[in-house]
């Protein structure tokens, strides 16, 4: 049954975040800036071309605008008053969106520009978004950026030309988005960011749904400090350097180990969030620093799993000779922990679908949404893995 805007009361997908927690306000530090954010409730425990989910008759932007136009006539705004309002409002801002008349959710079209499929996490993120669109019978145009920034820019420009109703971006890189976001704003299309942020003025997008990446890095650093009594020679496998998530995970880890003068990063190199590159980089670093390394911090599980293969190929025992800690908490990481090869992983939830579509529905109904929502995570250690693997949703 298609869900249509009725204030959300009839939407069966609402309230499915699992633990019954309400979202609550909390101040968090991201990119060194203290901002007001909302911590999202936990999701329930449960993977260059554009594809369309459940294609139906897409409603053109013109129709959307004409619905909005007639709605403002219906509320009987005096012309001079609405003109004054337009003059003082920022187009595309939450205020502006709040004055839009609701549109049937069954008619909206979402353009989703995904980074690619570089990791198990990313595959799970795409799956969560696509499944939720299907569940709510909302049309989703999915563009796989194949981990090329320009593919994503082109996809989003294409969505603007098509006149989709809302654009969702999971950006590979944080820079270079301003002209495209300005274009979307000029076209009156709200933009929602998921999984990573962009380096652009906040009024160029509606909201960003991300994890606290600095916190994740800090958790990994503190965990390692505890395990090694503050003495470690570390290889850091960095994610995609142009992504905010890599910069922030690096910063959080550096902050945690800075308290321990005997914890040293011997080498820090990018493995681009992939298992293949994580393995290749680790092979090189193991032979360049023979006998020196006793810990690996990988910015994601896939690179850690690649590093584990390299450590084994070098005749060493991952998890014992070399401690391995990473971020994501994907199922394969739990399998590696059960095998004793990975020591700990910091959860970065990939299940963004329900929260994303709750947010989209609010925007479509003209409700205000917080500028930033933090999707919470926790730390999982090796001895918890066997008991918890069956509860992992991705």
Residue 349 interacting with ligand AHR (CB under 6 A): no
- Among 17, 61, 196, 275, which residue sits at the site for ligand AHR (rule: CB under 6 A)? 196
Q: Is 119 in the site for ligand AHR (CB under 6 A)?
A: yes
Please tell me the distance from the alpha carbon of residue 54 to that of residue 148, in angstroms, as a whole number.
26
| Closest to ligand AHR by CB, 118 or 165 | 118
- Tokens 């980074």 belong to which residue? 115
Within 44-103, which residues bind ligand AHR (CB under 6 A)?
none
State in angstroms the smallest separation of the CB of 346 from ligand AHR.
10
d(CA 326, CA 217): 9
Closest CA to 35 of 43, 25, 44, 45: 25
For the bound state, the minimum distance from the C-beta of residue 377 to ligand AHR, rounded and expressed in Å, comes to: 10
Q: Does 250 bind ligand AHR (CB under 6 A)?
A: no
The SS3 assignment for 100 reads coil
Identity of the residue, 171 or 319, whose beta carbon is nearer to ligand AHR in the bound complex = 171
Least Å distance between CB 303 and ligand AHR? 8
SS3 21: coil
Question: In the complex, what is the shortest distance from the CB of residue 108 to ligand AHR, in angstroms, rounded to a whole number?
Answer: 25
61, 122, 275, 372: residue in contact with ligand AHR (rule CB under 6 A): 122
Three-class SS state of 252: helix
Site string for ligand AHR, 203-242 (x = CB under 6 A): ----------------------------------------
Strand segments (E) across the chain: 24-30, 33-39, 50-53, 109-114, 139-144, 166-169, 191-194, 207-210, 231-238, 262-270, 295-298, 323-328, 344-347, 372-374, 379-381
Residue 328 and residue 267 in contact, taking contact as beta carbons nearer than 8 Å: no
Judged by beta carbon, residue 181 or residue 211, the one nearer ligand AHR is 211
List residues binding ligand AHR (CB under 6 A): 118-119, 121-122, 195-196, 245, 273, 300, 302, 327-328, 348
């Amino acid at each position: 049954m298609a869900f249509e805007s009725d204030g959300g009361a009839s939407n069966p997908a609402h309230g499915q975040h699992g633990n019954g927690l309400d979202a609550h306000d909390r101040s968090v530090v991201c990119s060194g800036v203290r901002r007001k954010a909302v911590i999202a409730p936990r999701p329930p425990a449960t993977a260059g071309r554009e594809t369309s989910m459940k294609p139906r008759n897409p409603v053109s932007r013109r129709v959307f605008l004409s619905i909005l136009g007639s709605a403002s006539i219906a509320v009987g705004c005096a012309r001079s008053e609405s003109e004054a309002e337009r003059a003082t409002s920022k187009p595309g801002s939450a205020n502006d969106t709040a004055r839009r008349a609701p549109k049937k959710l069954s008619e909206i079209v979402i353009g989703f520009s995904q980074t690619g499929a570089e990791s198990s996490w990313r595959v799970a993120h795409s799956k969560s978004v696509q499944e939720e669109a299907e569940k709510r019978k909302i049309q989703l145009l999915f563009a796989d950026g194949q981990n090329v920034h320009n593919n994503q820019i082109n996809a989003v420009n294409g969505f603007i030309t098509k006149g989709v109703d809302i654009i969702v971006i999971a950006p590979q890189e944080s820079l270079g988005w301003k002209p495209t976001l300005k274009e979307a704003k000029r076209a009156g299309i709200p933009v929602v960011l998921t999984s990573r942020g962009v380096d652009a003025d906040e009024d160029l997008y509606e909201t960003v749904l991300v994890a606290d990446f600095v916190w994740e890095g800090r958790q990994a650093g503190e965990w390692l400090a505890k395990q090694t009594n503050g003495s470690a020679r570390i290889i850091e496998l960095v994610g995609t350097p142009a992504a905010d998530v890599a910069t922030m995970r690096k910063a959080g880890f550096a902050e945690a180990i800075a308290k321990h003068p005997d914890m040293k990063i011997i080498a820090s190199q990018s493995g681009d969030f992939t298992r293949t590159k994580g393995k290749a980089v680790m092979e090189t670093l193991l032979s360049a620093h023979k006998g020196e390394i006793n810990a690996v911090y990988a910015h994601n599980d896939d690179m850690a799993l690649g590093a584990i293969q390299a450590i084994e190929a070098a005749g060493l025992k991952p998890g014992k000779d070399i401690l391995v800690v990473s971020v994501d908490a994907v199922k394969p990481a739990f399998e590696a922990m059960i095998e004793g090869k990975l020591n700990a992983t910091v959860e970065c939830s990939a299940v963004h679908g329900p929260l994303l579509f709750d947010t989209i529905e609010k925007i479509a109904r003209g409700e205000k949404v917080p500028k930033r929502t933090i999707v919470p995570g926790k730390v999982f250690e090796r001895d918890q893995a066997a008991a918890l693997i069956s509860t992992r949703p991705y």
